[in-house]
Structure 1
Amino acid sequence: MKNLSKRPSHLDFSSPFLSLTKPVDMNYTNPYAQAGWCNPENPSAINQFSGPTSQPPTFGALPYPGHSAPPTKRFIFSSQGPELIRGCEVIDSDSGLTAFRIKMGHEGYDYTSLQCPSGTPRGYIVWKPQGPETEVYGTVARQKAKDWLPLSPDKRY
C-alpha cells in the first residue's frame, strides 16, 4: 500500500502548462484583438484607437452600414399672411425653388390642400372636430392623421 501521508515539500511549476508566473496573452486568443479592435481601458492592449475607420466590424458582432446616412433635406415655409396653415409656399432651401404649395380651402370648407408647384393637387387635410383626416393622392389612402403620423411614445414629437 502506498503511503499518502508523505507530501512533496514543493511543487514543480517548470512545465509551461502549470506555470503561474507567465500571464496568458489574450491578444492571441481574443478574436476581437486579432481583428484590430482596441480596448481603451487596457493601455497595454496591442491595438490602440486610431480614430474613425471605414473598415467593417468583424465576426458579425455589429452590422456594417453599407452607406452613409441620407442627407438632410431642409424646407422653408414662406407665408404671405399671419397664419401659415391658410396658405404658403414650401421652398427647398438648397435650390430655392418651390417644392409644393399649401392652400386653405374655399370659404366654408374646412380643408387644406397640398399642391405641386404647377398647382396640381397632391393631397389634402380635412379639419374635423374628431381630429384631422389626410390623404396623399396615389400614395396614402384617406385616414385619420393620428393613425398616419402617430405621436412618439413620450408625445414630444
Structure 2
Amino acid sequence: MFNPFAQGGWPNAANPNAGSSGSGSSPQPSIFGALPYPSRNPTPMFMTFRFTQFSPTIMDSTVIANSRTYFRVKTDAPTVGYTVIYNSANQPTIVIEWLKHPVIEIRDILSKRQTSQWLELSADKTYRTMTARGKTFLWVPDGSHISLYSAGLGAPQIYARIAREEGAVALELTSEAIQIGLLEVAVAAALLFQCGRNID
C-alpha cells in the first residue's frame, strides 16, 4: 500500500529514513513561500531626525534628517509666549502657548488642548499616554531613551524614541510611524519632553 506521507519525508514509523521530529528544531519556511511560519519580529529600521543648531536651547532650533531641514523651532518670535514649529514649506505646523498649563495645537492632527491632556501622565507617573491619528500610544522612559509604544493588548510595538546627544536631541522614528503620520506629533512630544519647562 502506498502512503504519500511516508514518501514525502515526514517523520513516521513506516519510513525510517524520514526526518526526525527532534525537539529544539525550528520550523523552516516553505521553499515555495506559500505557507507562513513563525519568525521573530525583525528589528525596526529607524529614520533619525535631530534637533540641532540650538540658539541657545531646543526652543530655538532646527530639525534635520538626511541633510535636509524638516522643521524650524521658534520661540517668542513673532509672538512672546509662543513656540511655533514651521515645516519645510515655512508653514506653522505646531503651536504651543506657554500658559500656566501649556496649550498645544498640531495642524490637521490635534485640536487645541492642554499638553497635560494630550500627554497624560499615568497615576504612578511611569509613562504618558498620547492619542494621535485615532490610536493610543505610550511614551515610556527606557534607559537613556524615551520610547513610543503602541498601547493595548498584545506585544507592544515601538514607533519612536528620543535621546539626548552632544549638542542635539535625536528623534528616531520607524518607517511605519512615518507612514501612519506620526512625524509631527513625535516632533511636538520630543520638544515638550526636552524643553525643560513644566508641561503639566
Q: Residue 89 of structure 1 is aligned with which of 62, 80, 85?
A: 62
User: CA deviation digits over 1:14-71, x for unaligned, max 9?
Assistant: xxxxxxxxxxxxx99xxxxxxxxxxxxxxxx7132459979534xxxxxx78x85652
Structure-2 change in CA distance of 1:75 and 1:48 (3 Å): same
Hey, what's the Cα distance between the residues in 2 that align with 1:52 and 1:134? 50
Counterpart secondary structure, 1:146: helix
What amino acid is the match of 2:37?
A: P
In the other structure, the counterpart of 1:76 is: 50
In the other structure, the counterpart of 1:111 is: 82
What amino acid is the match of 1:77?
A: F
Same amino acid, percent of matched pairs: 23
Q: CA deviation at 1:99?
A: 1.1
Q: Which runs of 4+ in 1 moved over 4 A?
A: 50-55, 67-70
Hey, what's the Cα distance between the residues in 2 that align with 1:72 and 1:126? 30
What amino acid is the match of 1:136?
A: I
User: CA deviation digits over 1:79-107, x for unaligned, max 9?
Assistant: 2422221x111001xx2101111111337
In the other structure, the counterpart of 1:134 is: 104
Identify, as 1 or 2, the structure richer in strand.
Answer: 2
Hey, what's the Cα distance between the residues in 2 that align with 1:132 and 1:71? 33
User: CA deviation digits over 1:96-140, x for unaligned, max 9?
Assistant: 1011111113376211001112311112111111x2110011110
Structure-2 change in CA distance of 1:49 and 1:143 (3 Å): same
Counterpart secondary structure, 2:99: coil
Whose RCO is larger (CA < 8 A, sep 6+)?
2
Structure-2 change in CA distance of 1:108 and 1:140 (3 Å): closer
Hey, what's the Cα distance between the residues in 2 that align with 1:135 and 1:112? 11
Q: Unaligned 5+ residue runs, structure 1?
A: 1-26, 29-44, 58-63
Contact kept, 8 Å, 2:104 with 2:114, in 1: the verdict is yes
In the other structure, the counterpart of 1:46 is: 22
In the other structure, the counterpart of 2:114 is: 144
Structure-2 change in CA distance of 1:56 and 1:89 (3 Å): same
Q: Unaligned 5+ residue runs, structure 2?
A: 1-10, 13-20, 31-35, 128-140, 147-200
Q: CA RMSD in A?
A: 3.5
What TM-score does the superposition give when structure 1 sets the normalisation length? 0.53
Q: Which moved more, 1:100-109 or 1:140-149?
A: 100-109
In the other structure, the counterpart of 1:31 is: none
Q: Residue 56 of structure 1 is aligned with which of 34, 37, 49?
A: 37
